[in-house]
Amino acid sequence: MHGESDLNLWSTAHSEPIGVPAFLFEVKASHYWVSVMVDDSRISGFYKLTREERIKKVIELTGISEEEMKPLASPGDVDLDVLENMIENVIGSMTLPLGIATNFQVNGKDYLVPMAIEEPSVVAAASNAARWTRKHGGFSAVDTGPIMISQIQAIGVSAPYSAKHEILKAKEELLALANEQDPILVKFGGGARDLRVKVIDSSVGPMVITELLVDTRDAMGANAVNTMAEALAPEIEKLTGGRVLLRILSNLADQRLVRVKAVFDKELLGGEEVIDGIIAAWAFAEADPYRCATHNKGILNGVDAVVIATGNDFRAIEAGAHSYASVGGYSSLTKYERDPDGNLVGTIEIPMAVGLVGGATKVHPVARACVKILGVETGLELAHILASVGLAQNAAAMRALASEGIQKGHMALHARNVAATAGARGDMIEKIAKQMVKEKNVKVERAKEILAELSG
């Protein structure tokens, strides 16, 4: 890693409830975010500050209040009663480290990006790669709008193509019925927009699949589109003469794409040879699914961390990303090329089904604080940042893999983990970690020995 290459670990936060997972939240609630805007996301030496200093800095830069920061800075303060109502059989919470990625500028606006993740180097890598883009305007993002697809499966249809015709003929009435299910979404400018029908062959015979396309605005939209699909089912049965079985959203959210472009500075990357290496590393992913799986995983390292921090559904994001990458043969979600000046130009195209209303985003106090720190006002603004972080993460991984490898950066942080596990605290952690890395002997036993020596 280059430049600011330490982990911006500033708090242990984001308590995930433990229990049997199930999401039963209302997405219809209206919302209003008070926007905060950071003037500049470059915070020199952020990683060198103590945790308390980092918290102060974020308060100072974003305008978030100390009260709002409280659950985030001391996860023990997250009310278990809140978590208890999120899922079933709650016994406690699972805490992840929460870091801040710096240097992000997306569509001309600066952001401090909260990332909840257990893996070392991810936050530092994203911050570094974001820094390489700043000279060239940061990240530029566009989207297709927040359109979610819901599927209604009709089986036992004796004349499937005739049934398809009947459904399409009733399209306007079906869309109206869908919209009746969610007047609040419609009030906020969303709602069912279109409907399409396909006949598919399957091992149990032909099926008529109706797909409802719904603009879910600032909601992730799972509840909204599932409710609509369920409401349409009796009508679809009448129109097809068949039986409706499944009524559920598709996570292949290919109508909810975000496209981001960034120019990574040639000099900051380390010159032409490094760029050659990055492009060859990317070409490897494009040519080989075994490599491509890891390449795309690296993108999701960054995306998921922000998705989790903001209380969104990272399984939906994973499913969407990998299924979208598989359309037409599994390939990279990113592309790389050179601009006329020899800089590296990266682009990413990725489904991004995230929201700001409903679910944990609104209920979990840490997620609420993270959204406030980000200062995003719409789900699409959040989606733009997520795709930008994915691209940054990937560029950083390519840069490291095509040069010194990732183990060096990983090792330094791993050594700190090991030192802490051995009982070191405060300054001791860094001293012991450095010593172990120097000796190339990063083990708890060795950490204990050094700790004993240093403690006299």
Q: Residue 297 catalytic?
A: yes
Token readout for 358 is: 């409903």
Which residue number has the CB closest to ligand MEV? 298
Euclidean distance between CA atoms 339 and 337, whole angstroms: 7
Quick one: 102 or 393, whose CB is closer to ligand MEV? 393
Contacts of 169 (CB under 8 A, 6+ apart): none
Footprint on residues 100-129 left by ligand MEV (CB under 6 A): 119
Segment interacting with ligand MEV, rule: CB under 6 A, options 218-226, 289-297, 366-374, 381-389: 289-297
Question: How many other C-beta atoms lie within 10 A of the C-beta of residue 215?
Answer: 22
Q: Residue 119 catalytic?
A: yes
Query: Which amino acid would we find at residue 391?
Result: L
Segment interacting with ligand MEV, rule: CB under 6 A, options 66-74, 151-159, 219-227, 292-300: 292-300
Beta carbon of residue 294, minimum distance to ligand MEV (angstroms, whole number): 4
Quick one: 245 or 287, whose CB is closer to ligand MEV? 287
Q: Rule CB under 6 A: is residue 261 a binding residue for ligand MEV?
A: no
Query: Which amino acid would we find at residue 94?
Result: M
Beta carbon of residue 126, minimum distance to ligand MEV (angstroms, whole number): 12
Phi, psi of 203 (to 5 degrees): -65, -15
Instruction: Figure out which of the listed residues 1, 7, 356, 397 binds ligand MEV, where binding follows CB under 6 A.
Output: 397
Question: Three-class SS of residue 178?
Answer: helix
H or E stretch including 292? helix 289-309
- How does 299-325 read in b/e, with b if 16+ C-beta sit within 10 Å? bbbbbbbbbbbbbbbbebbbbbbbbbb
Q: Rule CB under 6 A: is residue 298 a binding residue for ligand MEV?
A: yes
Nearest residue to 150 via CA among 193, 205, 180, 199: 193
Q: How many residues does the chain have?
A: 456
Name the burial class of residue 452, with classes exposed (0-12), middle (13-18) and buried (19+) by CB atoms within 10 angstroms of its CB: exposed
Q: Residue 56 catalytic?
A: no
Segment interacting with ligand MEV, rule: CB under 6 A, options 104-112, 126-134, 184-192, 296-304: 296-304
Instruction: Figure out which of the listed residues 301, 312, 343, 435 binds ligand MEV, where binding follows CB under 6 A.
Output: 301
Segment interacting with ligand MEV, rule: CB under 6 A, options 9-17, 180-188, 291-299, 340-348: 291-299
Q: Residue 6 catalytic?
A: no
Instruction: State the DSSP code for 265.
Output: P
Euclidean distance between CA atoms 422 and 219, whole angstroms: 44
Catalytic residue among 26, 68, 84, 119: 119
In which order are the strands placed within the sheet that holds 191-200? 191-200, 207-215, 147-155, 243-250
Nearest residue to 124 via CA among 332, 424, 402, 392: 392
Instruction: Figure out which of the listed residues 31, 57, 193, 297 binds ligand MEV, where binding follows CB under 6 A.
Output: 297
Instruction: Figure out which of the listed residues 294, 326, 407, 421 binds ligand MEV, where binding follows CB under 6 A.
Output: 294
Q: Rule CB under 6 A: is residue 406 a binding residue for ligand MEV?
A: yes
Q: Rule CB under 6 A: is residue 407 a binding residue for ligand MEV?
A: no
Q: Rule CB under 6 A: is residue 322 a binding residue for ligand MEV?
A: no
Q: Rule CB under 6 A: is residue 389 a binding residue for ligand MEV?
A: no
Where on the chain is the footprint of ligand MEV (CB under 6 A)? 119, 294-295, 297-298, 301, 397, 401, 406
Q: Please identify every residue annotated as catalytic.
A: 119, 297, 313, 410
